[in-house]
A = this chain, B = another copy of it.
């Protein structure tokens, strides 16, 4: 067991003294001190166990021994920059490329999702010779200045913030709360047409489009799953304008969506982005990330004559860790587990929706799941305070969950990929209890009419042709043809 250097109050005091006040802790009134973690569990200074439903960075499980060993071994041997040849770099590039469509073959290794997205913008600007960027409502793409500009999630937090002239904000393709909803005959086209309108408007002002950037599934934006075909249509409009399409997979990549390795693949094989950016889960917590693009864009980027050098990017240690993460995903079939356990979790949450008026929508793919809380199912009034309440009460039960989205009313599940069915049951059971208490206090009950009616969101699958919903043993699981090798009784490492 890990020991403490300072008691918790001293840690808090020192943090107040020496760490930037803009850097927030979870549960600021009573923050958590974590001293060790393993798998999907974190332990505080009293060795009390927390179930971790939020750390998508600890992708293959906190402190996975294979990843630790790979990192430690390489650290002992060599850690230097990519101006020297090293096998780990090329091996890793080869392995990453193999997870992607052929066209995406050229890698740039950097240190964070922010560095990756900034580099993607630099490439877009250089390759297209254009300036303007189209981003989505509520999007978050990183913390460096160029990305704050294209992150409404961030710049809307700022007192007196102004949107940069070169940034255009498109409608979030959210069929629960957005402009076009589940009852719209073709939300994919309607949302894509909004991008088309933005482009035309920009052209009218003499502006030019460099790129459209979006998370394949919006995370901070509220666990939004774009309707099938949306990205294909957007890509058509953007490319026609001479721009490129950047898929930000920082939050959702590496098998989390279960049926596919990358989130953008949910849209179907006919959609291939021009640049894919990676981050968070890529190194299980080790600071690293990657940008992958086509040969054509890579050559275009080089034509500026400017070298690209990143001091730490692609060093042998980061690459060894990245390789180990890919190995574990494969060896433990964590993508299969995301599909199976994620499907089970979604089903349990959908069952909650049938009984709880506070639950407006349940949406998810694999182990990327959102539960949108509302005070009124018809009006879909965000239940912001209630979502906070759920989070705080779960913490008392030692379950870590967060609430996000523009109204902070979407409970976000994005646990380590070794999350088990028992974990899902525990979390949902506690949420059930908490919602029951809250609804009693608020005097809320299920309106008779909504149970089999419009109030509930019926959403279409992104690729109906490859996803089926199976009902078995009273619970529904989402499965795909490409991933039927689910090991039913597989025990998850703890």
Residue of B nearest to A250 (CB): B311
Residue-wise, chain A 281-313 has the 8 Å CB interface mask toward B (1 for contact) of 000111110000000001101111111111111
**A108 CA to B105 CA in the complex, in Å?**
35
A68 contacts across to B, CB distance below 8 A? 72, 75-76
- Enumerate chain B residues within 8 angstroms of A106, measured Cβ to Cβ: 18-21
Are the CB atoms of A37 and B80 closer together than 8 Å? yes
8 Å CB contact of A145 from B4, B121, B143: B121
In the bound assembly, the distance between CA atoms of A83 and B32 in angstroms comes to: 8
Chain B residues in 8 Å Cβ range of A313? 287
Partner of A79, one of B62, B82, B314, B318: B62
* Set B23, B93, B118: member contacting A108, Cβ < 8 A: B23
Residue in B18, B157, B318 whose CB lies within 8 Å of A105: B18
Residues of A whose CB lies within 8 Å of any CB of B are 2, 4-6, 8, 11-12, 14-15, 17-26, 31-37, 42, 55, 57-58, 62-63, 65, 67-68, 71-72, 75-87, 89-91, 93-94, 97, 105-109, 111-115, 118-119, 121-122, 125, 143-146, 148, 154-155, 157-159, 161, 279-280, 284-288, 298-299, 301-315, 317-318
Q: Which residue of B lies closest to A13 (CB)?
A: B90
A285-B312, A306-B157 known; A33+B85 contact, CB < 8 A: yes
A84 to B17 CA separation, bound complex (whole angstroms): 16
A-B contact pairs, 13 of them (CB 8 A): A6-B91, A18-B90, A21-B298, A22-B108, A23-B314, A67-B75, A112-B312, A146-B146, A148-B306, A158-B304, A285-B315, A285-B317, A286-B287
Assess A11 versus B76: contact at CB under 8 Å? Given A115-B144, A146-B145: no
Decide: A75 near B78, CB < 8 A? Known: A122-B148, A307-B24: no
Contacts of A105 in B (CB 8 A): 17-18
Q: Which residues of B contact A5 (CB under 8 A)?
A: 87, 91
Please state if B279 and A2 are interface contacts (CB–CB under 8 Å). Answer: no
Q: Which of B17, B63, B315 contacts A77 (CB 8 A)?
A: B63
* Contact of A71 with B80 at beta-carbon distance under 8 Å, contacts A87-B5, A91-B5, A93-B19 already known: no
In angstroms, how far is the closest chain B Cβ from the Cβ of A151?
10
Copy total for this chain: 2
* Contacting residue for A71 out of B6, B75, B107, B154, CB 8 A: B75
Contact A78 B144 (CB under 8 A): no
**Chain B neighbourhood of A112, CB < 8 A:** 111-112, 115, 310-312
In the bound complex, do residue B22 and residue A157 qualify as a contact, i.e. CB atoms below 8 Å apart?
no
CA distance A26 to B4 in the complex (A): 45
Return the chain B residue nearest A105 by Cβ.
Answer: B18
Contacts A11-B87, A80-B285 given; 18 further ones with Cβ under 8 A?
A: A5-B91, A12-B85, A18-B107, A24-B83, A25-B85, A34-B80, A35-B78, A55-B80, A63-B78, A63-B79, A67-B75, A111-B312, A115-B115, A119-B144, A121-B145, A145-B145, A154-B306, A286-B312
Which residues of B are found within 8 Å of A79, using beta-carbon distances? 37, 58, 62-63, 284-286
Chain B residues with CB under 8 A of A317: 285-286
Residue of B nearest to A34 (CB): B84
Q: Which of A4, A23, A77, A107 has the most CB of B within 10 A?
A: A23
Closest to A114 in B: B115
What B residues does A287 contact at CB under 8 A? 111, 286-288, 312-313, 315, 318
Closest to A312 in B: B287
Chain B residue, CB-CB nearest to A293: B20
Residues of chain B with a CB closer than 8 A to A25's CB: 82-85
Distance to closest chain B CB from A242 (angstroms) = 18
Nearest CB of B to A231, in Å: 24
Let me know if A14 and B94 touch, CB within 8 A: yes
Which one, B71, B90, B303, contacts A14 given CB within 8 A? Answer: B90
Q: A287-B288, A288-B287 are in contact. Are A31 and B85 (CB under 8 A)?
A: yes
In the complex, what's the smallest C-beta–C-beta distance from A79 to chain B, in angstroms? 4
Docked CA distance A80–B61 (Å): 11
Q: Which of B34, B146, B301 contacts A85 (CB 8 A)?
A: B34
